[in-house]
A = this chain, B = another copy of it.
Amino acid sequence: MIRRLCIIGVGLIGGSLARALREQEACGEIVGCGRREAPLKLAVETGVVDRYTLDPAAAARGADMVVLAVPLGAMESLMGAIRPALDGDAVLTDVGSAKRAVLKAAETVFGGAPENFVPGHPVAGTEHSGVEASFAGLFEGRRVILTPTARTGSAATARVRRMWEAAGAEVVEMDADHHDTVLAGTSHLPHVLAFNLVDSLARGRDAAEVFAYAAGGFRDFTRIASSDPVMWRDICIANADAVLAALDRFGADLERVRKAIERHDGDALLEVFERARAARERWLR
């Protein structure tokens, strides 16, 4: 049971966590914090949080659980802002999609990752952003990856784990480096590809007509290109090494497919397409 939960960044993820914990009666007071007042007002009006402040230090003061649910680029300065206000036994966690960068930010701000900081990443989301898109069921049946270090206290990790389990998630732990490599492939790279495809087509000469004949396949393929651009800019930079490695592997394989199309090599194409379909069907099962 969390006595006072502080959520900094009451958007899709922060708002959904608040809703889920409230629904499960897993926390007492919920204090919201953000840079803009309008969405926080909405969050209070819709019962997502109990009260709000625009001051991160004031928000964190007296909380026993502080969740940073802001874009990765804002983590370090935010940690610096709340550091003086954090209670000694407060647990700090985040929801960033890249974990090495958050750990590095914590080490910079706190001089080594503090015992009570538990890096986390709920592998859940939709292409919509903001508290108005949040819902209590977002984490149900989804995975949350925690990447505690050797310095992270097991009690702090256990408290963050219980929080996410209360929200309906399955919690797993792994090394931050490993997390970043794994997520680069199935999450970060597809976002880069989808953003790039839509932009590339939109800037083409015949864009209007190209989009006019786009069908359901295109809609699904590009759904993630409607995601929050700031969040994804930050992820690409925070996890640049792993994203670049994933891009390069993808690019080298794509070049082989390109050459197969060029020489009308149906067998080579069929091999790739059949392997892909089989792999995806295995994954779905």
> Measuring CB to CB, which residues of chain A are less than 8 angstroms from any residue of chain B?
73, 123-127, 142-143, 145, 181-183, 185-187, 189-204, 206-207, 209-211, 213-227, 229-230, 232-234, 236-237, 240, 243-244, 247, 249-251, 253-254, 257-258, 261-262, 264, 266, 269-270, 272-277, 279-281, 283-284
Which single member of B213, B258, B274 contacts A229 (CB below 8 Å)? B274
Would you call A194 and B210 a contact (CB within 8 A)? no
Task: Give the complex CA separation of A189 and B257 in angstroms.
Answer: 11
Contact across chains for B276 and A204 when beta carbons are under 8 A apart: no
**Chain B, Cβ-Cβ closest to A262:** B244
User: In this complex, what residue of B is CB-closest to A252?
Assistant: B200
B218 touches A270 (CB 8 A): no
Pairwise interchain contact A276-B123, C-beta atoms closer than 8 A: no
Which one of A123, A224, A280 has the highest number of Cβ atoms from chain B below 10 Å of its Cβ? A280
Bound-state Cα–Cα, A182 to B208, Å = 10
Decide: B218 and A221 in contact? CB cutoff 8 A: no
- Verify A182–B201 contact, CB threshold 8 A: no
Q: List 16 A-B contacts (CB under 8 A).
A: A123-B213, A142-B215, A181-B206, A185-B210, A186-B210, A190-B218, A192-B254, A192-B261, A194-B221, A197-B276, A198-B276, A199-B272, A217-B223, A226-B277, A229-B273, A230-B270
- Tell me the complex Cα distance, A203–B224, Å: 24
13 further A-B pairs in the complex, CB-CB below 8 A; given A190-B218, A217-B224: A123-B215, A124-B216, A194-B221, A196-B250, A198-B279, A202-B276, A202-B279, A211-B283, A214-B283, A225-B277, A226-B284, A227-B277, A232-B273
Known contacts A240-B261, A244-B262, A253-B196; is-contact A273 B204 (Cβ 8 Å): no
Report how far A232 CA is from B234 CA in the complex, Å.
35
Distance (whole angstroms) from the CB of A181 to the closest CB of chain B: 7
Residue ID in chain B nearest A73 by CB atoms? B266
Q: How many copies does the complex hold?
A: 2
Q: Which residue on chain B has the smallest CB distance to residue A272?
A: B199
Minimum distance in angstroms from A246 CB to a CB of chain B: 8
CA–CA, A205 to B107, complex, Å? Answer: 31
Chain B residue numbers with a CB within 8 Å of A211 are: 186, 279, 283
Residues of B within 8 A of A233 (CB): 266, 269-270, 273
- Say yes or no: A253-B210 contact (C-beta < 8 A), given A217-B223, A224-B221, A264-B237: no
Interchain CB contact under 8 A, A198 and B280? yes
For A187, what are the chain B residues with a Cβ–Cβ distance below 8 Å? 213-215, 217-218
Which B residues lie within 8 Å of A183 (CB)? Answer: 213
B249 and A280: CB pair below 8 A?
no
For the complex, give the distance between the alpha carbons of A224 and B284 in Å.
13
